[in-house]
Structure 1
């Protein structure tokens, strides 16, 4: 197989991630003004319910398929057999997920008023399964899925402005969101035939797959708990208004996190290949480069968003959602741990077949998240959910680092890593100063925000270059090469 450019893949996947959040970024200001806070709350509560069953259908199949499938991608017969076996398991788990979902809809009266919205979101379960996106990650084909995403995002935005006009149109919004997220998955299934013909098989040794899949599934369960339990518990313990307020801060938080995590996602298959072939030097080089790049990006992103939380909320959602400012500022402290968790969990523990240790860490963090939510939500509402998320991410980082320190301790203790932290912190002083000055200098909300972002990027980059930050110097060198070639 022709080796794909890691830099190109990172760009394409980042672009795809930007597009996936550009849809809500463009549409959410419109939606938050067209729908009521309660409507937004009902939408997000229904989505959080379905997310649990989406997780059941997914099992741990995607991570398992990427890790194991990279070994077979140059052998068409083996990859076809492997992919078909994994797909068959996935279809079985999808059927189980739907059965459990329908039972819950019948049994729990609390969610009866959300049935229609839940059923709309449940379409994601089937279409995510047949999408087999892990095939494209195995073969690092980010060009196809990026182009596909652009087309469906554009169509979805048009549909949104046509069909979501009144406060009670949140069901239409839910349907369009599903179409945007998984509408292309039928095309995915057909297009995947250029790599292998995926089909159902009924006679195979399922035991060799199911144990690692279930371990990864258990990890996914606990991750889902601390990701979604805050919204679910807010909906059960409070009301749609509180869920609506928190949904704004958590959505903005996830937008930034998704873009940064895209860099990790494209690197996982390459890390799996190098580790599987015992090319440890190459594995360590990519892991070190990834970690240091993320540190250089996530620190200023979190500080910048903290300083501009109020402005971002006003631009995206309007003044009636200003109550989300404090919870968004709290969530900014979770970025550092959340992004490094992704590296340690997916790039180290899962790639090196330490799934049971990843599971232990996520179980502890999930318990911490639920306990703090139960204790503090009655008193602090959405702020309690944000604090619980920060504590969960912090605890997961401690656990993941403990179980992977024999591999990553050299990276985290290296001069380069320490230098990145110190220079990034120094650069963030410049960001804080710029944001404070722009707040004084401009009365216009839009101008204040634009100049704060642009000038912060410039001052941060300048400080890093002056302090000889290797990541910044490397980016500057690549930018010069691109400019010269134009």
Structure 2
């Protein structure tokens, strides 16, 4: 029995919180030990591995969540669907490792550190056996949260034990893989609880039926990856590992904050797919409107916070050697708002409705913009140009998704409550700017900005009697 969206959101928020907390502990340590060029090399290799993993996944994770969510009330059908998808992914993984071996033999920049490249390539294997899509499809977020917390705790302890200097780059590579995907081993073993052998008749499995719909999702994944991974790849080829390190620090901070505003998407997508499969259109529309309102309430202040807190945040987390990461961090801050809105449009609405072509077209337009801006700006302006290209791609994608798919999106875009968020953000921005003028040590400035920013935004919403906040207070009073 699937739990409520609220319970799933809380569980996913806990999981997301730990995903933010652990990097807040580990990233400052890694920045000081591995330094910018070491981090740059790892992330350059990781970007290449991500492209290989993209082709071996072939759009399976997103497609599989929807299919499992639709079939979860029919155990036999769900078992067969899961087995077919797992077999397809396994075959593609073999092809992926042929590509890995070929790159090791032919690409000089990879031959600089082949052991590190091979360690990072374990991501491909762990992704294949992980079946994270299965647990998201059946909305087993309790297991995902508990497993993630245990694995992250163990991996962080091992990081501090084994990574002591730049010479320990291979150990850091192991942490990058095991810390993120090590728990996938348990995912695979736990499938026995849900997939029963008596429900699987191998002669009746039809792997080919998934290829066409998976390719549609894959085309979406390809165009999205152009501006998610190509930024780092092109920066690494045009410049050097140091430039990649500065850009990585900027994007790392942004992505940690982005998780807070976008974690609702992984909860909403299987639930939205299930509601549409049962023809509960009105419930679906109501759920999406609440999701959009909540997303704006969270993403807008986080975006403003990063713009004004970037100097103290980067210096505190990464050290003064990463001061060059401050400006790109401020440039890409609006991506938090853009991606959060695009997740509502694309992942929560258009994809469950089967309008993946609209999402792909919008991302394709963004990918073209990303490619043009990267080729134009990165050779001249290094990581600053890459940051501008990244922002341009995300803005273009979100705007395109709105214009192309708006007739399918049941959302009231401008409400009175949205003005509350704008007012709260404006006053919060003034407070954060005033605090930055005091020129406090970076840590104390960050703590003061964080506390004051949250309090000011919260008080403004209280004074304006914001609907989301009032509903929350009403439910708390009943407890």
TM-score, length-normalised on structure 2? 0.96
C-alpha distance in 1 between matches for 2:63 and 2:376: 36
C-alpha distance in 2 between matches for 1:228 and 1:197: 38
Q: Which residue number corresponds to residue 151 of structure 1?
A: 150
Q: CA deviation at 1:442?
A: 6.7
What root-mean-square deviation, in Å, do the aligned CA atoms of Structure 1 and Structure 2 show? Answer: 1.7
- Is the 1:49–1:118 contact (alpha carbons within 8 Å) kept by the matching residues of 2? no
- Is the 1:9–1:142 contact (alpha carbons within 8 Å) kept by the matching residues of 2? yes
Which residues of 2 match residues 235-254 of structure 1 at below 5 A?
235-254=236-255
Question: Residues 149-204 of structure 1, C-alpha deviation per residue, up to 9 Å, x if partnerless?
Answer: 11111111111111111122122111012111111111111112222248894763
Question: Residues 113-162 of structure 1, C-alpha deviation per residue, up to 9 Å, x if partnerless?
Answer: 13222111111111111111111111111111111111111111111111
Q: Cα 1:132–1:200, aligned 2, differ >3 Å: closer, same or farther? A: farther
- Is the 2:285–2:410 contact (alpha carbons within 8 Å) kept by the matching residues of 1? no
Q: Which residue number corresponds to residue 433 of structure 1?
A: 430
Q: Which residue number corresponds to residue 339 of structure 1?
A: 340
Indicate whether 1:466 and 2:463 are aligned.
yes
Q: Which moved more, 1:159-168 or 1:469-478?
A: 469-478
Q: Which residue number corresponds to residue 17 of structure 2?
A: 18
- Is the 1:88–1:201 contact (alpha carbons within 8 Å) kept by the matching residues of 2? no
C-alpha distance in 1 between matches for 2:187 and 2:132: 7
Q: CA deviation at 1:424?
A: 1.1
C-alpha distance in 2 between matches for 1:3 and 1:160: 36
Indicate whether 1:204 and 2:199 are aligned.
no
C-alpha distance in 1 between matches for 2:4 and 2:405: 27
Question: Residues 25-83 of structure 1, C-alpha deviation per residue, up to 9 Å, x if partnerless?
Answer: 21111111111321111111111111111111211111111112222212211111111
- Is the 2:288–2:411 contact (alpha carbons within 8 Å) kept by the matching residues of 1? no
Q: CA deviation at 1:441?
A: 4.7
C-alpha distance in 1 between matches for 2:310 and 2:202: 51
For structure 2, list consecutive stretches of 5 or more residues without a partner in the other structure: none
C-alpha distance in 1 between matches for 2:211 and 2:67: 13
C-alpha distance in 1 between matches for 2:405 and 2:193: 37
- Is the 2:350–2:408 contact (alpha carbons within 8 Å) kept by the matching residues of 1? no
Q: Which residue number corresponds to residue 214 of structure 1?
A: 215
Q: Which moved more, 1:259-268 or 1:232-241?
A: 259-268
For structure 1, list consecutive stretches of 5 or more residues without a partner in the other structure: none
Q: Which moved more, 1:460-469 or 1:148-157?
A: 460-469
Q: Which residue number corresponds to residue 54 of structure 1?
A: 53
TM-score, length-normalised on structure 1? 0.94
C-alpha distance in 2 between matches for 1:428 and 1:364: 30
Question: Residues 398-424 of structure 1, C-alpha deviation per residue, up to 9 Å, x if partnerless?
Answer: 221233211326422xxxx43233221
C-alpha distance in 2 between matches for 1:271 and 1:463: 32
Q: Which residue number corresponds to residue 92 of structure 2?
A: 93
How many aligned positions are there? 477
Q: Which moved more, 1:233-242 or 1:348-357?
A: 348-357
- Is the 2:247–2:383 contact (alpha carbons within 8 Å) kept by the matching residues of 1? yes
SS at match of 2:120: helix
Which residues of 2 match residues 53-202 of structure 1 at below 5 A?
53-197=52-196, 201=202
Q: CA deviation at 1:425?
A: 1.3
C-alpha distance in 2 between matches for 1:154 and 1:181: 11
Indicate whether 1:356 and 2:353 are aligned.
no
Q: CA deviation at 1:321?
A: 0.1
Q: 1:419 aligns with which of 392, 416, 419?
A: 416
Q: Which moved more, 1:290-299 or 1:462-471?
A: 462-471
Q: 1:476 aligns with which of 456, 473, 476?
A: 473
Which segments of structure 1 move beyond 6 Å, counting only runs of 4 or more? none
- Is the 2:285–2:411 contact (alpha carbons within 8 Å) kept by the matching residues of 1? no
SS at match of 1:297: helix
- Is the 1:348–1:404 contact (alpha carbons within 8 Å) kept by the matching residues of 2? no
